[in-house]
Amino acid sequence: LRQGYLGSSPYGISVVISLRTLELYRILRLRQPRLSIQAWIQSLCDLHNVNYRRTYWRHFSEAFDVYLKILREVETRVAVELQRSDDPHWRVKHSCPACRYKLVDDPTMDIEFIGSLDGNQSLKRVRLREGFEGDPRVFHSGYYIREGEVETFKHDVKPRSRPAKKKDDALKPKWGPDEDQVAAADGETACADRWKAAMNDALKRMWAIYRETGIFASACRHHLLWWICDMIESGELAKYPIAHVSRVLHILGYRPGIGYDIGCSFDGTISRSSLKELASERHLRFAVPAFHGYAHNRLCQLHFHPLYITGFGLEDMETCERIFSAFNGLAVITRHASQFHRHQAIDMFAKQWDADKYRDISLFLLNNYKQVQNILDELPDAIKLLQSGKSSQDLDYAKHLEAERLYLAARKKDSPQDARNCEYVSLLIKHRAAESLFAEALKHLGNPKNAKLRPRLEKDKRDAFDALDQITTMLADFERSNDIVSRWTPDSEEWKATADLLTKLDYQKALDKLEGLVVQRLFELAKMGLSGTGKYFSLKTRCRAIQTALAKYNAAAKKLDRPSLEWKDISTYGGLAEFELLRECREDIRAQPWTDSRNRQAAVHTLRLERAGEERDRLNIEIRRLATWMCDEERQLRQCVNHLKSKNPHLAAHVATIEAQTLRVNDTHRFRLREIAALPCFTGRIDPGV
Ligand SMILES: [Zn+2]
Ligand SMILES: [Zn+2]
């Protein structure tokens, strides 16, 4: 080792690998996680004109593990010297100075820190054949929440009473022991169902060949990781986010604001879990990520979209999407690795990710400040324009939102009575159709002109009779079980009322279909903004499907005298809010100030302006924290180097390299902080505090 070479085993060394080669591979791997050891060895062989042999791969792989272990040991010793090893959670408490490095004169905020959670299924690992899980080593990573800890939340939430099993349940994969566990999307809201429907598709594709089916991660809004845990032989179960939230509440403290795709229904899940008291004591607040917000209904948005929650600033909560799109690169090498190697690879990558994101904190702050600047420049004028000629009643946006919330919450579902009536009338209509078919068949049969066709007409008559018989039995059963004494006729009042209802239902159905398609399209458009995170569907096909749905909708709308829609209206829709309004059949609602589109636009602008103000306050705090952290960190590193110089010169040299790296990164930070200070709307300070 003193010569700069590392063998692959302690005894009988036949192959040694130079430390420089190992280090080069490590650095390359950090930048390009797809680079496998095999590819690396093969390129080395090409360089030296040697034939590739599989044993080289094994030797290198073993030496690389040892090398990484040595590096981790060095890291631990540095942590001891810096007095950072006593607290097992030192990393998560200090990795993001903007979130965590509190100063004495920090004001309190409604939401103290912002982060997000999400699961992702790209980092799967194939279950090795029985007896081949040969690697008994366990990798201990500070990022990981271990399986055992996650399992303690396994039965934390009681499943909601489920509706009777439907046929398609048989199609869903069975997860054996996990079957009685609650899925993360097991909330009371309609969004949860919508989400589950989308997730099921993904689940079906997950064969039982995987043991780890993905990872669940949490991170702060500056993209620095909090924790990671494995999802094991399951989809996104409630225990994963609960384990993360538990850590956030216990370790990171008060007033967290957390973004999660299904934050709306997960909020309910938490309130049924063992974390209930702690969550309300620490003022835990959930939100749904801004782009995912499209998929949630209007009422949910009013409660959970970051735009409508005081304190979230301009945060879009899409942090995890970005993390996963980077981590996806690891999938190639972790899929067939042992558990140890998979964790080692993820840990390595996570450290590099955090280092990169620490470097980017000042860029994040700068970009957000620029965004605030844009909003402050543009929105006040836009709002003035929208408000011109409006009465004071039109301008009370807080009241509008409250009215909308109340209205949406009060709107009730179709009553069971209505549903029953609809079923009855549909049956009656079918019955009448069957009757007339049978009469028709009899008429043809009785006509002497048709003598030649007799055998075929006989069959027609028999078929028509069977159909009529069947529907008559169903009708009689229905009447008996619902206590209907005299059969309704098209002239009866009940029939007429229900027929109206049916037309409305048709309309609603057409609207639902259209809404679903448009939402998907919005989703895809949003995804494209986040390149590399999803598949691209052909938008053209989607558009054609929307056109068809649109035609159906217009036909149904005509029957009800509702305004028809055109393609250009729909393609400009920005969310579900417009659809919720179309859903309204009562004209009196449409006369209220909160349904006026100009008022709505002005309200959204006003809210954005408010959020921009909050964002600026938060950025000012974060900027000062970063400035202070840089000074303190540099001072501590210098002291450590001086202290170690005589005691342990090797370690001192290593700490000095860390110091050099820190100084390099901090220089960029300082440069960007000065850039922020030069913005016209800057109201904070960039000198260090205490
Ligand atoms: Zn942060
Ligand atoms: Zn929702």
CA nearest to 518, candidates 588, 576, 566, 469: 576
355-380: string of b/e by CB count within 10 Å (b at 16+)?
A: eebbebbbebbbebbebbbebbeebe
The Cα–Cα gap between 143 and 139 comes to: 11
Q: What is the pLDDT of residue 309?
A: 87
- Compute the distance from residue 650 Cα to the ligand 1 centre, in Å: 33
Of residues 490 and 523, the one with the higher pLDDT is 490
Asked whether the predicted pLDDT for residue 9 surpasses 90, the reply is no
CA nearest to 628, candidates 669, 571, 657, 677: 669
Query: How large is the average pLDDT for residues 265-271?
Result: 87
179-193, 295-309, 401-415, 421-435: the lowest-pLDDT one: 179-193
- Compute the distance from residue 499 Cα to the ligand 1 centre, in Å: 58
CA nearest to 427, candidates 546, 419, 14: 419
- Compute the distance from residue 399 Cα to the ligand 1 centre, in Å: 34
Closest ligand to Cα 265: 2
DSSP string, 212-267: EEEEEEEEETTS-EEEEEEEESSSSBTHHHHHHHHHIIIII-S-EEEE-TTHHHHH
- Compute the distance from residue 101 Cα to the ligand 1 centre, in Å: 10
The Cα–Cα gap between 65 and 71 comes to: 10
3 state SS for 138-167: CCCCCCECCHHHHHCCCCCCCCCCCCCCCH
Q: What is the pLDDT of residue 301?
A: 80
Given a contact cutoff of 8 angstroms between Cβ atoms, the answer to whether 19 and 27 are in contact is no
Closest ligand to Cα 261: 2
- Compute the distance from residue 115 Cα to the ligand 1 centre, in Å: 8
Confidence of residue 426 (pLDDT cuts 50, 70, 90): confident
Report domain extents, the chain: 5-81, 113-125+192-336
Closest ligand to Cα 304: 2
Confidence of residue 660 (pLDDT cuts 50, 70, 90): very high
Given a contact cutoff of 8 angstroms between Cβ atoms, the answer to whether 211 and 233 are in contact is yes
Confidence of residue 49 (pLDDT cuts 50, 70, 90): very high
| H/E segment holding residue 190 | helix 190-204
CA nearest to 595, candidates 373, 408, 470, 336: 408
Q: What is the pLDDT of residue 570?
A: 60
Of residues 426 and 626, the one with the higher pLDDT is 626
The Cα–Cα gap between 624 and 98 comes to: 8
- Compute the distance from residue 191 Cα to the ligand 2 centre, in Å: 4
The Cα–Cα gap between 257 and 221 comes to: 10
Tokens of 25: 């591979």
The Cα–Cα gap between 288 and 302 comes to: 11
- Compute the distance from residue 255 Cα to the ligand 1 centre, in Å: 14
| H/E segment holding residue 19 | helix 19-31
3 state SS for 601-656: HHHHHHHHHHHHHHHHHHHHHHHHHHHHHHHHHHHHHHHHHHHHHHHCHHHHHHHH
Q: Write the single-letter amino acid at 171.
A: L
Closest ligand to Cα 287: 2
DSSP string, 475-503: HHHHHHHTT--S---TTSHHHHHHHHHHH
Query: How large is the average pLDDT for residues 358-364?
Result: 93
* Residue showing tokens 């590819």: 39
Of residues 48 and 576, the one with the higher pLDDT is 48
Cβ burial, residue 38 (10 Å; 0-12/13-18/19+): middle
Q: What is the pLDDT of residue 519?
A: 62
Nearby residues of 247 by Cβ (< 8 Å), 6 or more positions away: 145, 218, 226, 227
- Compute the distance from residue 188 Cα to the ligand 2 centre, in Å: 10
| 34-to-31, 40, 483 alpha-carbon distances in Å | 9, 11, 69
Considering the chain, what is the average pLDDT of its residues?
81
Q: What is the pLDDT of residue 530?
A: 39
**Nearest 5 degrees, angle CA 400-CA 405-CA 411?**
125
Asked whether the predicted pLDDT for residue 325 surpasses 70, the reply is yes
Q: What is the pLDDT of residue 524?
A: 56
- Compute the distance from residue 619 Cα to the ligand 2 centre, in Å: 28
The Cα–Cα gap between 5 and 21 comes to: 9
Confidence of residue 622 (pLDDT cuts 50, 70, 90): very high
Q: What is the pLDDT of residue 241?
A: 92
CATH of 113-125+192-336 given 3.40.50, 3.30.420, 1.10.3430, 3.30.160: 3.30.420
Of residues 157 and 216, the one with the higher pLDDT is 216
Of residues 604 and 8, the one with the higher pLDDT is 604
- Compute the distance from residue 300 Cα to the ligand 2 centre, in Å: 5
Closest ligand to Cα 185: 2
- Compute the distance from residue 297 Cα to the ligand 2 centre, in Å: 6
- Compute the distance from residue 653 Cα to the ligand 2 centre, in Å: 53
Of residues 410 and 401, the one with the higher pLDDT is 401
Asked whether the predicted pLDDT for residue 42 surpasses 60, the reply is yes
Closest ligand to Cα 93: 1
Closest ligand to Cα 361: 1
> What percentage of the chain has pLDDT greater than the value 90?
30
- Compute the distance from residue 219 Cα to the ligand 1 centre, in Å: 8
Given a contact cutoff of 8 angstroms between Cβ atoms, the answer to whether 106 and 621 are in contact is yes
- Compute the distance from residue 612 Cα to the ligand 1 centre, in Å: 18
CA nearest to 342, candidates 204, 237, 228, 236: 228
- Compute the distance from residue 681 Cα to the ligand 2 centre, in Å: 35
Beta strands in 315-418 (DSSP E): none
The Cα–Cα gap between 217 and 232 comes to: 14
Confidence of residue 162 (pLDDT cuts 50, 70, 90): very low
- Compute the distance from residue 100 Cα to the ligand 2 centre, in Å: 30
Tokens of 116: 């997000």
Is ipTM strictly over 0.90? yes
> What percentage of the chain has pLDDT greater than the value 70?
81
Of residues 179 and 356, the one with the higher pLDDT is 356
| 534-to-121, 452, 669 alpha-carbon distances in Å | 12, 64, 32
DSSP string, 564-583: P--HHHHHT--SSHHHHHHT
Closest ligand to Cα 368: 1
22-26, 113-117, 533-537, 553-557: the lowest-pLDDT one: 533-537
- Compute the distance from residue 152 Cα to the ligand 2 centre, in Å: 27
- Compute the distance from residue 96 Cα to the ligand 1 centre, in Å: 5
In sequence order, the β-bridge partners of residue 227 are 218
Q: What is the pLDDT of residue 168?
A: 38
156-160, 603-607, 632-636: the lowest-pLDDT one: 156-160
* Residue showing tokens 């209007």: 298
CA nearest to 420, candidates 483, 482, 494: 482
3-state secondary structure of 35: coil
Confidence of residue 174 (pLDDT cuts 50, 70, 90): very low
- Compute the distance from residue 241 Cα to the ligand 2 centre, in Å: 16
The Cα–Cα gap between 52 and 57 comes to: 9
Asked whether the predicted pLDDT for residue 675 surpasses 90, the reply is yes
Count CB neighbours of 665 within 10 A: 17
- Compute the distance from residue 329 Cα to the ligand 1 centre, in Å: 24
Q: What is the pLDDT of residues 344-355, one digit of tens each?
A: 999 999 999 999
Q: What is the pLDDT of residues 208-245, one digit of tens each?
A: 678 888 899 999 999 999 999 998 877 778 889 999 99
The Cα–Cα gap between 579 and 300 comes to: 14
Closest ligand to Cα 299: 2
* 532 Rama sector, left if φ>0, alpha if ψ -120 to 50, beta otherwise: left
Closest ligand to Cα 225: 1
Of residues 388 and 92, the one with the higher pLDDT is 92
Given a contact cutoff of 8 angstroms between Cβ atoms, the answer to whether 161 and 364 are in contact is no
- Compute the distance from residue 212 Cα to the ligand 2 centre, in Å: 28
